[in-house]
Structure 1
Amino acid sequence: MLLDRRTLAGIAEGSITQVLRRWRRPSVRSGGSLTTAAGVLAIEAVEPISEAEIDDAEAKAAGFASRDAALASLAGREGDLYRIRLHLAGPDPRLALREASELGDEEVGVLAARLGRLDARRAWTVATLALIAAHPGRRAPELADLIGRETLAFKQDVRKLKTLGLTESLEVGYRLSPRGEALLSKLPPR
């Protein structure tokens, strides 16, 4: 479930306690969690609802000024309507990972093994890290084009590296985290 910066800020400050979505099938489940730029979100409940159940109070809890604004945001989307109740459960664990600029041999071995598993079908991890290192702040479509990849697939790969604390998303583009720089400097080119 993708959440925009405004919604994440509202969840972090506590003014947004739910999200409204149309889905063919939910992409999160009750009791689960979601790691976001704002931190880890706890998914309290995922409930199918009808448009008739959305009033101004429901809309405001989802960050909208009114019922009409909430319904307008959902217009033109396919699927069933869901209310996802959530709250900020803690900080983004990737933040602490990213800052580790000193990597011991054991940690390098663990990370290299994780990259190896990601590379099982196609070797891409080290090349993507090197590409981001060479072009920090460059837009994802431009980076993807440099290596002949579709933008969406490229972004999905970068998110996998971000989960390991190796990359950081910028307002525009990406950069390697201190951990990513440290790892790249210790890996042989592939």
Structure 2
Amino acid sequence: MLFKQAVLDRIATGEIRQAFRRWQKPTVRPGGTLRTAAGVLAIDRLEPVDAGELTEADAVAAGFASRTALLAELGRSSAGVLYRIGFHRAGDDPREALRGDDRIGPAAQTALQARLDALDQRSHAGPWTRETLALIGSRDGITAGEIADRLGMERPALKVKIRKLKEFGLTESLASGYRLSPRGRAFLGRDRAGSDGA
């Protein structure tokens, strides 16, 4: 469930507390959470709705200027069931604090190396984690397309892989492209030092 940045800014302030999506199968559930750039959202409710019954208040609560604007957005796709998703901001994304933590001791370094090695071993395309980190570290804002071209991968598949690095706190997304987080820079420096010393 994706949100535009302008919507995320208003979610962060609590101004927007619901959304509408058409799904064949919902990607969230009541009681679950969703990590976004605005923080972690707690999903309070999920219910199918009829577009014809939506009100001006529904539109405003979802961040739209009017019911007409909401219906125009929903009209872009007629596939799937229309759902109302109610939520509230439950806190900061724990990955943010992790990304900023560049104090990586030997045990944390070893654990991260093992996790990356496991990703490499499961990859049908061969090892990719260290080279991807090195490419991201070569220039802030390097895009998935550029990295995919360098690694000989399809862009969508690479983006899925980079999300895994983000889960470990090693990378962060920019408005365009990626960069290493402080944790990622610290890890890569120690990883290279260990390889050079081997």
Secondary structure at the counterpart of residue 122 of structure 2: coil
Equivalent residue for 2:151, pick from 138, 147, 150: 147
Q: Deviations over 1:149-180 (max 9, x none)?
A: 22222112111111111001112211101110
Q: Residues 90-138 of structure 1: CA distance to partner in whole angstroms, max 9, x if unpaired?
A: 0111111111112111101111222223223212211211110113212
Please list the CA deviations of residues 65-110 of structure 1 after superposition, one character each: whole Å capped at 9, or x if unmatched: 1111111111132111011101111011111111111211110111
Residues 134-143 or 26-35, more deviating: 134-143
Query: 1:74 — aligned with what?
Result: 74
Q: How many residues align?
A: 189
Aligned to 1:87: 88
Deviation at 1:142, TM superposition (A): 2.0
Structure 1: which amino acid aligns with 2:153? R
Aligned counterpart in structure 2 of residue 133 of structure 1, from 127, 134, 137: 137
RMSD (Å), alpha carbons: 1.4
Counterpart-to-counterpart distance in 1, 2:140 and 2:18: 35
Q: How does 1:141-180 map to 2 (within 5 A)?
A: 141-180=145-184
2:109 paired with 1:100: no
- Structure 2: gaps spanning 5 or more residues: none
Distance 2:82 2:10 in 1: 21
| Structure 1 spans left out of the alignment, 5+ residues | none
* Superposition TM-score, scaled by structure 1 size: 0.94
Q: Highest CA radius of gyration, 1 or 2?
A: 2
Distance in 1 between residues matched to 2:53 and 2:149, nearest whole Å: 45
